[in-house]
Every structure is written in structure tokens, then in C-alpha cells.
A and B are shown apart, each in its own frame.
Chain A
């Protein structure tokens, strides 16, 4: 595998450097650097959305989720993603018409403007920060752990993690969002190719679709229905996940900014459509890999299962492609998230553009270092940590939608205040300070319910609607 890895690695790095350099921001304004000039067509839009959304979580997390919890994982992620895609079409239009493209720098700044209070922007930024940093960290940790397993006697895990962050920082800082978007194109294509190669190999070894499910049924029949062998996929988990995933385009800044920077509404529509197809195509092979793992490595730990299935059971060149694909998947999501936090920082800074941009670029480095630190101490539960991130930022949903649809959201500041309190409560629960369920109800769902009801009360009691 060593020779193949060198060849594929060199090609990948070469392409990455070429794309970063050729698409670097020549003009040094915040608008160009953080928003790529706000003129993205549907083809680039599709791949940058896809590479940002589908990450290590997809290539490592989802096969393991299918292996451990069964076919309900399709409902958890694929059906939820497709509802989200329609949401992009439905509410993305309203976001695009409400924001002033000429002054939009990020969701935090936008919320501060519509609520006419800078502290509302800070609530938005702090929530994104709290829940995105761990998400970035698990991308880095997931791949670093995998690389550590692939090359056990080479370098320690932290060296892999530092290397990944260094690559990511380098091309983000050189090229800005435009370079990230072009690299997303490369990384999205790589992710799709790699996941299908492994998926087909696994499906073939299990004797096709029928053979695969027959063998899994003989070993663990509970994998073929909900709630799965461990009972994870109950109504609350699936419903809460769908709500949280549907909120992502409006509550996670790396996705929101991509909605805004699309060239026109039609480009956004075509992107949404393509994203739906991409989601099905990229998640389906993870099911094949997961079922293969359920049969062959049912009792293995996640790293053992992934190391065996994605590397040891594959030929050298395919194993090398998997490694490169994984690195691509991890950095394409992590860079967008870190970069978006930089953009959010910029949106809250007021002053001379060049000076503020420099501050925001320093902030990107700080966020990357924080993520690196968190990556070295976080757990290996990729999917569940990612879900915690979705659920956390989803609490911003009522705040964002109220800001979008209400003529003067500043008349109801109780909502942003309560949002901040709910975020703190959820953080406490995630830190293990108290239970994550209240009277049998998931705390994230309960808090989202409280915020939704509050926003509806606000809508009924304050004047003027945008709809």
C-alpha cells in the first residue's frame, strides 16, 4: 500500500495546492475572502454543500452506525437529509431574500442586525462556537485515529492530527472561501469514488443485496428493523435527529453562508436537487459497508472494524485511496467549519475592513488550535458527537426563523435571551452535570420545544410578519 499511498497522496496534495493557489483571493476584502464574492453557480454549489455536509462522519461514522444499530440508520440520516434538502429550497429562499447580500458577512452579524442588538449576534456566535469546535475535533480525531491504526509503528496520533490541521489552515489562509470551495469539488468527488469502491467490494463479498441481508438476519435479526439491537432508534431519537438535521442549513454558519453566496435562487434550487441525489448516493454504500461489518466484525471495536474493513480487507491501491479519501473528507468539512467561525467573527467586528479581516484570520488560527486540542482528548463516538453538535446548534432555529419571518424581531428580545439560557442548559447536560432526559423526554427536544413555543407566542403578540 505504501507505494500507492505515495502516488495518490502526491496527486491529491498537488491538486490541493494547485486549486488553492489558482483560486486564491486576489482582492483582499472580507467579502472576497470570507464569501468568495457571493457568486457561486449550481455545480460548485452542489459539491461545496456536499463536501461540507458529508464528512468523516459519513465515511467512518455511518458504516459503524449501520453495523451497530442496523437499517434504522438510513432513516436517521438519509430521510432526514432529504427533508433538509427540501427545507433548503423552502426556507433558503426566505433567508436569501431577507439578507442584504451587500452587507452580509455571517449569520451572527445578520442576527445582530435584525434584532438590533449586538449581544444577539454573540449568542449566535457562542452557540456555533460551542457546538462546532467539538464537531471539527471529531473529524480530526476520527482520521488521526484511523491513520494511527493504519501505520501503528510510525508516528504518534497527535502528529497526524497536527498534520491535518496544518494542511487545512494552510490552504484556507492562502485562498479563502474560494479555494475551499474548489477544494470541496475535488474532495466531494473523491469521497463519492472511495465510498462506492469500498461499498461495492463489501456488497460483492456478501453475495449481493439478498445474500447480504440473509447473512445479517442469521447473525443479528434486530439489525433489520427499528429500533435496532440496542434500541437507539426510537421515536424521540429519530424525530429529534430529523429536526436537528433540518435546522443545519440555517443554524450552522458553514452551511448558511453557502446558501447566501449562491449566484441566484435558481442555482440554489439546482444545488438542492443535486444535493438530494448526492446524499442518497453517498449514504447507500455506507449501509453495504456497515452490513458487511455486522456480519464479519460484529463484536469488534469501531477502530478494529474500520481498520479491517476499509484497509486490511482491501487491496493496496484501494486502501491507499481510502486513506486519501478519508483525509479529504475530514478536512473538507473541518476547514469549512473553522473558516465559517472566522466569518462569523468578522461579521461581529466593526471598523476598517483590512484590520478587521486580519483579526478574523487570526481567529481562524485560534479556532483551529482549539479544535486540535479538543481532538486529542475527545471520544471516538463520531456519530453521537456529531448529533450532539446538530442538536446544539438546532436550538438557534427558532431564533433564526423568528428573525427571518418577523418584520421587527427586535420587539421580542425574550427569545434570544431564552435561547442563550437553553444553550447553557444543554451544554451542562452534555458535560454530564445532570441528566439528558426530563420525565422521559430528551432534553434537546424539550428545550427546542420551549423555544419554538416561545417564538410562536412572540409571533402572536408582536406586530408585523414577513411571510
Chain B
């Protein structure tokens, strides 16, 4: 199960990295909708980085090599 979660983490990060360069995160010339006054790319980028931290945290718990060490 943990191996599967680890693979999902890796795939999610790769997909998120690719999506960063699409209008999902970086629409050209578009600043709306705003959240807490922040333009779209800023709050979406911030959300993206927070999600990446969460995935990294999960990754530290399920990484196959780290479990072997335990």
C-alpha cells in the first residue's frame, strides 16, 4: 500500500510540475479571480507550493527506502 502511495506522490509531483506551465497556474495576462486580494497566478502558485510541501511530507512517510532503514 505504501509503495502505491509513494508512486502516486511521484506522479502527482510530475503532473503538478507540468501543469505549472499551463493556464491552470500561469494563464497569460490574466490576474483574476483574486483571492485575499492576490492575483490568480500568485495565489495559485502559493497553493501549488503548499500542496507540494504536503506531498513531500507524505513522501517522507511512505518512501520505500526510508522504510527499509527503519
- Residues on A with C-beta less than 8 A from B56 are 82, 85-86, 89, 272-273, 276
Q: Do B37 and A213 touch across chains, with their CB atoms under 8 A apart?
A: yes
> A242 touching B17 by the CB < 8 A rule?
yes
Determine if B5 is an interface residue (Cβ-Cβ < 8 Å): no
With most chain B CB atoms within 10 A of its CB, the pick from A83, A93, A214, A284 is A83
Q: Hey, what's the 0/1 contact readout for B50-66 against A, CB within 8 Å counting as 1?
A: 10110111011001011
The number of residue pairs between A and B whose CB atoms lie closer than 8 Å in the complex comes to: 131
**Is B20 a contact of A242 with CB atoms below 8 Å?**
yes
When A212-B37, A242-B20 are in contact, do A265 and B65 touch as well, CB less than 8 Å?
Answer: yes
A277 at the interface (CB under 8 A from B): yes
Interface residues on A, range: 35 or more
Beyond A78-B49, A280-B49, whether A211 also contacts B60 by CB under 8 A is: no
Query: Known: A82-B52, A85-B56. Is A225-B39 also a contact (CB below 8 A)?
Result: yes
Residues of B with C-beta under 8 A to A211:
37
Does A264 lie at the interface of the complex (its beta carbon under 8 Å from any beta carbon of B)? yes
Check A276/B37 contact, CB under 8 A, given A75-B26, A238-B21, A264-B69: no
The answer to whether A273 and B53 touch across the interface, beta carbons within 8 angstroms, is yes
Inter-chain contact B39/A86, CB cutoff 8 Å: no
What bracket does the count of chain B residues touching chain A fall in? Answer: 35 or more
B21–A239 contact, CB under 8 A?
Answer: yes
Q: How far is the CA of A235 from the CA of B17 in the complex (A)?
A: 12
In the complex the two chains form, what is the Cα distance from A71 to B35 in whole Å? Answer: 14
- The reply on A79 being an interface residue by CB < 8 A is yes
Instruction: Tell me, yes or no, whether A226 is within 8 Å of chain B by CB.
Output: yes
The answer to whether A93 and B52 have CB atoms under 8 Å apart is: no
Residue A233, interface by CB 8 Å: yes
Q: Identify 8 new A-B residue pairs, CB closer than 8 A, beyond the known A93-B66, A213-B38, A273-B57.
A: A74-B49, A79-B25, A81-B49, A213-B37, A266-B60, A276-B56, A279-B49, A287-B42
Chain B residues packing against A (C-beta within 8 Å): 9-10, 13, 16-17, 20-21, 25-31, 34, 36-42, 45-46, 48-50, 52-53, 55-57, 59-60, 63, 65-66, 69-70
